[in-house]
Amino acid sequence: MRLSVGLLVVALSSSFNAFALADPGRGRFHVKEAVHVPRGWVEHAKPAPDHTIVLRIGLPQPNFPVLEKHLYEVSDPEHGRYGDHLSKEEVEDLVRPHPDSLEAVNKWLVSHGFEETDIARSPAQDWITLRLPVVAVEKLLDTKYSVYKHIDSGDTLVRTTSYSLPAELHDHIDVIQPTTMFGRLKSARSTLLFNDNDEDDTVALSKAKTTADNIAATLTNQVSGAVVDASCNRTITIKCLQQLYNVNYTPQNVSTTPQIGITGYLEQFANVQDLTSFYTEQKPEAVGTSFTYVSVNGGENPQNLSQSGAEAALDVQFAFGLAYPIPGVFWSTAGRPPFKPDTSTPTNTNEPYADWLDYVLSQKDADIPKSISTSYGDDEQTVPRSYAIRTCNQFAQLGVRGVSVIFSSGDWGVGDGNPDPATQECITNDGTNRTRFIPVYPASCPFVTAIGGTENIAPEVAVSRFPSGGGFSDYFPQPLYQLVDVQKYVAALPKGTYKNLYNPLGRAFPDVSTQGDRYRIWLRGIARSIGGTSASSPAFAGLIALLNDARAAKGKKSLGFLNPLIYSAKTRGVWNDVTVGKNPGCGTQGFNATKGWDPVTGLGTPNFGKLFDIVV
């Protein structure tokens, strides 16, 4: 099934002459937002005046604190409203802007010659979308755009370092993008591993079983007591995850619509032939089945085997394989740099998860999968705080509607994403050039569940080939659900450890972990080994889909926003504590895994069977 979903915008007529009008109130402009050009970016050129920008204007949501209160009540297993999720219509009522804001912004747009047919509005009217040439945006926001180039990658973005609004509008507009956002959405590594001579074919599993470190037939995890095939110490399969995490549940598949979803970005395409090869090897009963593909904003999913993406292959194969026969959906969202900024062709602003959020929030409650995994993120500091807060609040809207939103925590430890620790530059981009650990967004959003990575079986330790992302947000305060656990960890650190390098009162991540390395996937017709918290997130999402299925079979609601449950006293015994490992970066050893919560593996890895007994 393929659905084509276009961006909800209406093109302005090429003959639109309103921008030639005198700019009303020009003398009353005041700077709304300003940033320094982040390190690694340089001003490269001026964009063509007719370069098209899709401008998103976010209006304030005065009742969001009420929505947040609902979110925590329906997500707290000790609360009487647990599972009493809100509907799409109830959520939209809560995020609707105040009439004064709608009136002020409408008046402003009319003064610039816009008509209602030129404007696209979200269902709650909290987002306004315009599509117009850069010269018009410059006039509207009293600014100048430039083409900026990323030195290392060559990526280019059309951005400004500040924009202004009439003074009377500042209280009626939260954020406008793309303006000051220099984020480079990236996959959480998904590093491919190749054996000698690029050999990693159908004999890899049998080879793994005969290696010197896997002579024993089984291994026993000392924490959980799980008995696991010894080959899992080298190669992770669906069976390995089921054994290690005590998964012994056959889905009832009570839903005919997708109940687990994978987001695909950056032209990562999910190939059905590769999925079939994966199922043939690891899930024979699933052979002949596939997934629903949905295009968001023109996203594609070509089935040429040579275009199969490693990230997409990993995500759909393990998420849907673990959850089978629960139906799944793969969203392909268009947009990525680099692009040619000298043309009038609409180009994405490298914020595709905002496009995806627009799409999924507009869907009926019954049509949204209740477990969704995303394996992408940005350095938090490259996402303007105002924009991070607004998109984070959109994740909260999904949570209160009963959706578990799951993100990988990143694969660069406390660093900036450079795989070579020796060349990491952990420097703030606020003009002070301070050395600072670099948290990852959206993993740092308090309304999502962030998943770290582990490796090995007996014992399970923090992944080491790439350091699992983790740390503390500089944008979001520490939520109450994790305050006790996190502050216990912070208090135990030697006095002065990493002083001024992190925010000890920030939202801490990851929340929990799963295996994150040596996953056996099929890519472009060949079996490969792959690693990253890109693997941890879809695996965890698959487990949540199973729990939701079991709850649905008993007439119970989906788990929804998971974090209050994860940190509750009710689930203290369901996490396999991981106490060995660290996440180095920024020229440091990073944080250490230790007893209890830590910013490397969170509270540990799941014991599905115990969790099942509690929530089902």
287 annotated to bind ligand? no
pLDDT at residue 8 tops 70: no
Contact partners, residue 553, CB within 8 Å, separation at least 6? 252, 254
- CB of 138 closer than 8 Å to CB of 125: no
Note the pLDDT tens digit of each residue in 80-116: 999 999 999 999 999 999 999 999 999 999 999 999 9
pLDDT at 266: 82
In the residue annotation, 534 being an active-site residue is answered as yes
pLDDT at 256: 85
Residue range 302-313: mean pLDDT, rounded = 92
pLDDT at residue 360 tops 80: yes
152 annotated to bind ligand? no
321 — pLDDT class (breaks 50, 70, 90): very high
Give 152-155 contacts, CB < 8 A, sequence gap 24+: 152/40, 153/184, 153/338, 154/338, 155/184, 155/337, 155/338, 155/350
598 annotated to bind ligand? yes
| Residue 342 Cα distances to 11, 352, 576, angstroms | 19, 21, 53
Contact partners, residue 518, CB within 8 Å, separation at least 6? 193, 234, 235, 236, 455, 529, 530, 531
Joined together, the tokens standing for residue 198 give: 């690029």
- CB of 189 closer than 8 Å to CB of 315: no
Rounded Cα gap, residues 274 and 265, in angstroms: 18
Joined together, the tokens standing for residue 486 give: 């996190």
Alpha-helical segments (H) within 287-351:
310-323
Rounded Cα gap, residues 295 and 3, in angstroms: 6
Note the pLDDT tens digit of each residue in 38-78: 888 899 999 999 888 989 999 999 999 999 999 999 999 99
pLDDT at 209: 44
pLDDT at 532: 87
Annotated catalytic residue, options 33, 118, 138, 311: 311
Annotated catalytic residue, options 126, 274, 315, 411: 315
pLDDT at residue 27 tops 70: no
Question: Percent of the chain scored above 90 by pLDDT?
Answer: 69
Rounded Cα gap, residues 377 and 188, in angstroms: 7
pLDDT at 182: 84
Rounded Cα gap, residues 446 and 508, in angstroms: 8
Sign of CA dihedral 612, 613, 615, 616: positive
> In which element (H, E) is residue 290 found?
none
**Beta-strand relationship, 440-441 and 218-220:** unpaired
Annotated catalytic residue, options 373, 404, 468, 534: 534
pLDDT at residue 467 tops 70: yes
Note the pLDDT tens digit of each residue in 411-451: 889 987 666 655 677 888 888 889 999 999 999 999 999 99
In the residue annotation, 199 being an active-site residue is answered as no
Note the pLDDT tens digit of each residue in 507-531: 999 999 999 999 999 999 999 999 9
In the residue annotation, 14 being an active-site residue is answered as no
Entry pTM? 0.90
Residue range 468-489: mean pLDDT, rounded = 97
Rounded Cα gap, residues 450 and 563, in angstroms: 9
Domains and CATH numbers, the chain: 2-61+96-182 (no CATH), 187-615 (3.40.50.200)
134 annotated to bind ligand? no
Joined together, the tokens standing for residue 64 give: 């969001």
